[in-house]
Structure 1
Amino acid sequence: MGVDMRSRGAVMAGVMVALGVAVGGCGPVNEATFSGEDSAVPQERVDELNAQLRLLPSLEATVDDYRRMGDAIAREISGITPTVVWRPHPTAGDDETSCGGEWLATDGRRVMLQLWISDSPIPDSDWPQALEVARTAAAAKDITFQSTNRDRPADHDVAFTNSAGAKVSLGSETAAVLSIRTPCRLPADAGSPSAVNP
């Protein structure tokens, strides 16, 4: 894409703002239930949660599944707005972290996937349709709690979360950013099934 150095600097500044929002969502509050991580979870509950995780697809299978979801969202938004051309963020790769909320003490992990970014923002005229694409894809994974950080002309940042820690965020200002975080899952070597469920 022919972007001069001055406009590329503006694009990257916008991406860094969006990055702050996307990464900032990994803090100590469970966005869907607003339960903090500072209260101790009884060991019996931790054991119960670990048992639940063992019945779910592995972290690796979930990462693959959520990456496919992100690719599908990106393709569909580009179909709505051909000027939005997505690419992986060149330096922000997948980031594996501990789980949040009451899942913090479990053996589970979650992954913030490498960002999808576009040097061209989503036009305001197409924003509602693009947001609906993200909302529909998130809802298919039971990621339904919506929070809006910003939603004004040429400046949008909306996230969908659930109580398992999954998150889908779509933002558009000087650039467009799609970020996705998996729910809490056990790594394959911890013995969870490899089959993929939403």
Structure 2
Amino acid sequence: MNRLIRVTLAGLTAAALVLELTGCGGNDRAGSPMSATPDPNRLSQQFADLLQRPDIDQATARYEEMSGHIRDALSGAFPDLRWRQTSQLTGAACGFGYPGLETDGEQRGLPNWMAPGSIPDGRWDEAVRVVRTVALKYGFDKVVTTVGRPTDHEVVFSDPYDAELNFGSAVNTTLLVRTGCHLTPEAKKRGHPTSSPAGG
């Protein structure tokens, strides 16, 4: 499968994810699993778990800082890379994994970055080490190779909050970051789910 087709399929997958996260498409809110009354015990536990995480604004700021340091480190090792932002910050509800927290939790896609041109095959492992060195400082301690063939490479790093950092190189070199689910600042300050008043 050539790069163009793979990127197109990735775009379609991303679009499907957005539809799922926003409750659009075949499973609309009316009659969908998200519209059912969530289990109160599960709701409380999930909210308590999310309280231990930074809020979505704090997480976004931290990941944006990481992305900037990675781009700087890569440019230092590969001076020909010229990064430019290719999208804007996006956000959506946390999706079906967090029923009942649609208004309290959010996940975001950070702006995507792209540098025209590719990293030579012989230096790809070096590039991954550069990214990993920075990513580990931000808790991205897991890495999976999703594409590994001549002139086409991609790895995905993840952290304990289910954030993902995608780093790839083919026709262009790309860096993408998606957060996991985090409470909004308002929800974290409130300390309990919107659907559950304080004390009960």
Instruction: Tell whether the structures are fold-level matches, with TM greater than 0.5.
Output: yes
1:58 to 51, 55, 58: 55
State the distance in 2 between where 1:189 and 1:77 align.
Answer: 36
Q: Structure 1 residues 132 and 100 mapped into 2: Cα distance closer, same or farther (>3 Å)? A: farther
Give 5+ residue unaligned stretches, structure 2: 21-32, 191-200
Match of 1:98 in 2: 93
User: Deviation at 1:18?
Assistant: 9.2
Match of 1:20 in 2: 11
Q: Structure 1 residues 139 and 43 mapped into 2: Cα distance closer, same or farther (>3 Å)? A: farther
Contact 1:81 1:126 in 2 (8 A): no
- Which letter does structure 2 place at the counterpart of 1:129? E
Q: Structure 1 residues 174 and 168 mapped into 2: Cα distance closer, same or farther (>3 Å)? A: same
State the distance in 1 between where 2:105 and 2:146 align.
Answer: 28
Residue 81 (1) aligns with residue 72 (2)? no
Contact 2:81 2:117 in 1 (8 A): yes
Aligned length: 171
The structure number with the bigger radius of gyration is: 2
Match of 2:184 in 1: 187
Match of 1:125 in 2: 122
User: Deviation at 1:26?
Assistant: 5.1
User: Deviation at 1:112?
Assistant: 0.8
1:155 to 152, 157, 162: 152
Query: What SS does structure 1 have at the residue aligned with 2:41?
Result: helix
**Structure 1 stretches (4+) deviating beyond 4 angstroms?**
13-19, 24-28, 38-41
Give 5+ residue unaligned stretches, structure 1: 1-10, 29-37, 194-198
- Which letter does structure 1 place at the counterpart of 2:73? E
TM-score (norm 1): 0.71
User: Deviation at 1:186?
Assistant: 1.1
State the distance in 1 between where 2:146 and 2:185 align.
Answer: 35
Match of 1:72 in 2: 69
State the distance in 1 between where 2:130 and 2:159 align.
Answer: 17
